[in-house]
Amino acid sequence: MADLLPTTRPVLFDHDGGVDDFLSLLLLLHMPHIELLGISITPADCYLETALLTTHKLLALAGRHDVEVSGGNYHGVNAFPSDWRAKPKILNALPDLINVPTPGAEHYEDSTAFLARKLRAASAPVTVLLTGPCSNLVLALEHDPTLLPKIAEVVWMGGAVDVIGNVKTYHHNGTAEWNVFWDPQAAHKLFRLGLPLTLVPLDVTNQVPVSFDFLQQLAHQSAYFYSNLAGQFWATTIDTIPAYEYTYFMWDVLTTAYLAIPEAFEFEQVELEITPTGASAGNTSRLPGSGQWVKMATRVRQDDFFAYLLQQLRQAR
């Protein structure tokens, strides 16, 4: 039986400015049951200033000037590659975005204070959607632990449990996923907060690559504004398809889709641990007896997911 979705689901969205983060925002903005309370940006897979611009441009296109946007001033332990972080600058130059006005985008509240303020003001428990590192949330909760009961669920794209990681650097053994590796100490703390945590790791996102077949299907419906825009966004990732080291997957888009089609996923309740330091920093591993229970996605029905994605991108502007 499909999970029953509430009439409205209050969501705080923390992303880190990659192409798939912005595509996730497009999905969120067109989910009728989602009440988007605000957006926080972690300067991980982006440079903050350009990611703020892209976020404000997408909100402007959707007529959602009511959604507040904050920026993180904390920088993690292990920086993302600089060429990955430059991607929002390319997106802001795309024909459908370059002339979208963003008055006030340069002014922003610190994300840690912003998340705390929004959680404090929420009238019902909030879902926190993380498609980048978890640092902003952890810092906010460390500063004010009384906010813990205000969180209904943390949904995080992070980790590599039973598959190889996607971190390939000279000082790491390759077991970690980047969102965890950026700040493995924060991830280690998150798993100890006792929050309801739904993890969407590489184990399941590896099942949904951004393939040429999918891009061709999307192009067939490019008369729809958001299909065309999404196609432009994904086209900027094409230099990673195919690639020896990195393939572009629907990491964040799949994680966001869980909020709309949870019935398309299979899950396992598992005890997990995150290594905070050393050559395996960020490694997310099974540790029976640790008491850190996580709802981990293990499989997704690909046909259902892609059908949902194509349908959502046929939204009229």
Neighbours of 171 (CB within 10 A): 9
- Enumerate the domain spans of the chain: 9-312
Name residue 156's beta-bridge partners.
Answer: 130, 199
Q: Residue 244: what pLDDT? A: 64
Percent of the chain with pLDDT over 70: 96
Q: Tens digit of pLDDT for each residue in 265-299?
A: 999 999 999 999 999 999 999 999 887 899 999 99
pLDDT at 2: 45
Mean pLDDT score of the chain: 93
Helices (H), the chain: 19-29, 48-61, 82-85, 87-91, 111-121, 135-143, 178-181, 184-190, 202-205, 212-219, 225-235, 251-257, 302-312
Q: Does residue 71 carry a pLDDT above 90?
A: yes
Average pLDDT on 45-73 reads 95
Tell the CATH topology of 9-312: Inosine-uridine Nucleoside N-ribohydrolase; Chain A (3.90.245)
69 pLDDT exceeds 80?
yes
Q: Report the b/e string of 52-62 with b at 16+ CB within 10 A.
A: bbbbbbbbbbb
Please, which residues bridge with residue 35 across strands? Answer: 10
Q: What is the pLDDT of residues 212-248, one digit of tens each?
A: 999 999 999 999 999 999 999 999 998 876 776 678 9
pLDDT given at position 233: 96
Element (H, E) at 38: strand 34-41
Question: What is the spatial distance between Cα 140 and Cα 196, in angstroms, rounded to a whole number?
Answer: 17
According to the model, what pLDDT value does residue 316 have? 65
pLDDT of 6 > 70? The answer is: no
- Helix orientation angle between 48-61 and 19-29, rounded to the nearest 10 degrees: 30
Q: What is the pLDDT of residues 127-149, one digit of tens each?
A: 999 999 999 999 999 999 999 99
Residue among 227, 208, 212, 201 at smallest CA distance from 302: 208
Report how far residue 134's alpha carbon sits from residue 149's, in angstroms, rounded to the nearest whole number.
Answer: 18
Which residues are CB-contacts of 272 (< 8 A; sequence separation ≥ 6)?
159, 161, 191, 199, 284, 285, 286, 287, 290, 292, 294, 296
User: Degrees (nearest 5) of the Cα angle 264, 251, 277?
Assistant: 120
Per-residue model confidence (pLDDT) at position 1: 38
How many C-beta neighbours within 10 Å does residue 242 have? 11
Share of the chain above pLDDT 90, in %: 86
**Closest-CA residue to 246 (of 200, 306, 205):** 205
Q: Looking at the whole model, is its pTM more than 0.85? A: yes
Confidence of residue 169 (pLDDT cuts 50, 70, 90): confident
Residue type, 24: S
301, β-bridge pairs: none
What tokens were used for 256?
């966001």
Q: Which residues contact 304 (CB under 8 A, 6 or more apart)?
A: 261, 264
Distance of CA 146 to CAs 10, 70, 113, 193, 292, Å? 19, 22, 14, 12, 20
* pLDDT for residue 82 is more than 90: no
> Would you state the pLDDT for residue 241?
67
